[in-house]
Amino acid sequence: MADLSRLPPQAVEVEQKVLGAMLQYPTAAPAVFELLKMGDFYRQAHNEIFDALQTLFERNEPIDLTLTANELRKNKKLEAVGGEVYLMELVEKAMTPANVEHHAHIVKEKASLRDLINTSTSIINRCYEEVDDVDGLLDESEAKIFSLSQGHVRSGLVPISALLSTTFEDIERYAKGTLQGIPSGFKDLDEKTGGFQNSDLIILAGRPSMGKTALALSMASYAGIHGAKAVAIFSLEMSKSQLVQRLLCAQARVNMHQLRLGRLPHKDIPKLALAAGPLNEAKIFIDDSSDLNILEIRSKARRLKSQGTLDFVIVDYLQLIHPSRRHDSREQEIAYISRSLKALAKDLNIPVMALSQLARRTEGREDKRPQLSDLRESGAIEQDADVVLFVYREEVYDKEQGEPGKAEIIIGKQRNGPIDTVNATFVKDYAAFENYSPRAEESIL
């Protein structure tokens, strides 16, 4: 429990100097507004004064003692903060604008410590309650602490001169033909996208039976084995054993249906043993919790990233994720989940792929190839996604006209590149996708 006899971390004199500088020197205010927010000051009076200063700034009005006093008076808060006399005292204590940013950082640090105390106290109190889901509490606690750290660290504005050197390094790698992102294993797709880029949210969508999971697993396998990347797969639909069987059969190129029926030819047994080697060495992590909420996914991904073992996240699939908070509609729930996945990609600076369902209206069209408007339940998915991929197989609808095994990976959206369609081959025997070849058995990923 928190020790109520001890004063929380504070720096009242520093707060006075910062506010005084803002009142005295117009150039001091913008730097402070970039670092501090309402509530960061220990004294409530200082928060009210800061709020008045920020209101003037947002209205593009000059900041000085008189206008600040008028703003506080208008909101009936002037006397509560100490009147004009106290504002004059603050001006007398002002430091020079050159030092205001350093002092604002001190105020921010004290505020962060107080937030940490409050959050920790809340977690301790929860621990004393009757908690059924301990793992859920651990994930929730980790998320709260992580949220504090994210609020404390800000990237700020960076001069372009500091960014040019890294940009030219990227350009040099482009010129060498080096793939910048996580490889998908599909040459034509990687040529269009440059691989899956850090901080990107990739949506992989398709109608049932098109092979969304199979395609995602093919990409995960290639990234983990050939790309030597650490991949986390959150499967809310299929079990760990089912996923591993799929990965193993695809790697060994053996018939998955025969394996499950116990009819696998003896000649294929050594293939499985041989395929297990690369998979065993790959950094592929699988979580098959069927009731995962978005908070748990973010917490588990952050934990892996903090251990230095996470380059790529795949979630199968978006509509099965629990939102972890109540919303008025299903559309709002999906929008919240979509935004949270995009935030995860940005926070961890890794690509996050989420599989998604498509609306049934595709079935009613003559051309059943999916479109962005077919994304189910929320337009927010399209807005949040950096890349939207659709998987489409004509043979699912028309076995006579559709080329056996031929699949299309449609780039329906690419924030930093063209939209296009590339072909791939779906091998039904072991439920995997490979680089396109008219005959599946001749294709090698």
**Mean pLDDT calculated for residue range 140-146:** 74
What are the pLDDT digits (tens) for 344-388?
A: 899 889 999 999 888 777 776 777 788 888 886 667 888 888 999
Q: How many angstroms separate the Cα of 40 from the Cα of each of 117, 121, 148, 152?
A: 14, 18, 13, 11
| Residue 34: active-site member | no
Of 101, 237, 382, 408, the catalytic one is 237
pLDDT for 218 equals: 93
Query: Mean pLDDT across the chain, nearest whole number?
Result: 84
Lowest mean pLDDT among 30-39, 63-72, 248-257: 248-257
What does the pLDDT read at residue 438? 67
For residue 358, give both structure tokens.
């498509």
pLDDT at 152: 56
Q: Name the percent of the chain lying above pLDDT 90.
A: 34
Strand 406-414 relative to strand 387-392, pairing: antiparallel
Burial of 143 (0-12, 13-18, 19+ CB in 10 A): middle
- pLDDT surpasses 80 at 73: yes
User: What percent of the chain is predicted at pLDDT more than 70?
Assistant: 89
Query: Where residue 307 falls among pLDDT bands split at 50, 70, 90?
Result: confident
Which residues have C-beta within 8 Å of that of residue 37, sequence separation ≥ 6? none
Distances 439 to 255, 405, 435, 442 between C-alpha atoms, Å: 16, 8, 11, 6
Report how far residue 429's alpha carbon sits from residue 245's, in angstroms, rounded to the nearest whole number.
13
Domains of the chain: 12-152 (1.10.860.10), 173-442 (3.40.50.300)
pLDDT higher for 394 or 295?
394
Q: CA-CA distance, 111 to 105, in Å (whole number)?
A: 10
Return the minimum-mean-pLDDT range out of 92-101, 409-418, 423-432. 423-432
What is the C-alpha separation between 411 and 391, in angstroms, rounded? Answer: 9
Nearest CA-CA partner of 281 in 241, 229, 319, 327: 229
What are the pLDDT digits (tens) for 189-215?
Answer: 998 998 999 999 999 998 888 889 999
Are the beta carbons of 389 and 203 closer than 8 angstroms?
Answer: yes
393 has a pLDDT exceeding 80: yes
Contact 423, 406 (CB under 8 A): yes
Q: pLDDT of 269-281, one tens digit each?
A: 888 888 788 888 8
pLDDT confidence tier of residue 156, bands split at 50, 70 and 90: low
pLDDT of residue 155: 54
C-alpha 396/C-alpha 4 separation (Å) is 67
Q: Are strands 231-235 and 312-316 parallel, antiparallel or unpaired?
A: parallel
